[in-house]
Amino acid sequence: MPAHAMRQDPRFPNLFILDHPMIQHKLTHMRDRRTSTRTFRDLLRELTLLMGYEITRDLPLTTERIESPLTAMDAPVIAGKKVAVVPVLRAGLGMAEGLMDLIPSARQGHIGLYRGDDARPVEYYVRLPDVEGRMFIVCDPMLATGYSAAHAVRALVERGVPPAHIRYLALVAAPEGMEVFQREHPAVRVYVAALDSHLDADSYIVPGLGDAGDRIFGTK
């Protein structure tokens, strides 16, 4: 991975911060409280496509014999099985759209979690494509406490996906959540547009962007 494409934080060896100017610019507009639901959703889709482009840089290639209008050639194509995009419901759906724009042939799984009495995630839905030899991109915009992120990845690992085949994509992470996530899944790479300051008393990321699900779907 070229050093200029990603920044790292010494506390979190598997965290990669995508600090491309276009990504940072779009994130700023998403953070702005004046940004409308419609614009927020569009920006999330565009931003996720750009992030997806960066995190798929090292997908293995093979060649396929084709004929251009001038001659036959062995041309590069992505090797192996199709990638799987796995949004965590509901906010992850907004990111899945951008990833599907980038990789239209990707398979899609879904993981449904809700917050239980003790604020820990409770799983209510998991549906995945077959796992053998496939790369999984799990997406959810806010890695806050890290409990949902860790749970979602655990759901994949329990179904036979090797940690090295999982990439976790979020927009913004909190250090508290990264600690939780890294403790349970030290081999899973996490990609974000920003590592923010901290969580507030209600477990919102500060400065963050508010409730991502509400801002995507216009609920409150």
Q: Which residues bind ligand URA (CB under 6 A)?
A: 91, 142, 144, 204-205, 208, 211-213
Nearer to ligand URA, 53 or 204 (CB): 204
Our CB check for ligand URA shows the closer of 106 and 199 to be 199
Q: How far is the CB of 199 from ligand URA (least distance, A)?
A: 8
Q: For the chain, count helices (H), then strands (E).
A: 6, 16
Q: CA-CA distance, 104 to 85, in Å (whole number)?
A: 10
145 annotated among ligand-binding-site residues: yes
- Shortest distance, CB of residue 38 to ligand URA, whole angstroms? 18
CB of 135 or CB of 170, closer to ligand URA: 170
Question: Tokens standing for 157?
Answer: 């690992």
The tokens of 4 are what? Answer: 């200029």
Supply the minimum distance, in Å, between the C-beta of residue 65 and ligand URA: 47
Tell me if 171 is assigned to a ligand binding site: no
212 among annotated binding-site residues: yes
109 a known binding residue?
no
Q: Where are the alpha helices (DSSP H) in 120-163?
A: 147-158
Distance (Å) of CA 138 to CA 32, 38, 62, 190, 202: 25, 24, 25, 10, 24
3-state secondary structure of 49: helix
Cβ closer to ligand URA: 195 or 205? 205
Q: Which CB sits closer to ligand URA, 135 or 145?
A: 145
- Minimal distance, residue 195 CB to ligand URA, in Å: 13
How far is Cα 69 from Cα 105, in angstroms, rounded to an integer?
25
- Residue 146 in marked binding region: yes
**Residues 48, 44: Cα–Cα separation, whole Å:** 6
At 157, is the secondary structure helix, strand, or coil? helix
Annotated binding residue 147: yes
Q: Is 51 marked within a binding site?
A: no
> Residue 31: what are its φ and ψ, rounded to 5°?
-70, -30
Q: At its nearest, how many Å lie between ligand URA and the CB of residue 166? A: 21
Which residue spans within 68-180 are E strands per DSSP? 72-78, 84-89, 107-108, 110-115, 121-127, 136-139, 142-143, 166-169, 172-173
Binding site, by residue number, is 90, 115, 140-148, 205, 210-212
Annotated binding site for uracil: 205, 210-212
Question: Binding site for 5-phospho-alpha-D-ribose 1-diphosphate, residues?
Answer: 90, 115, 140-148, 211
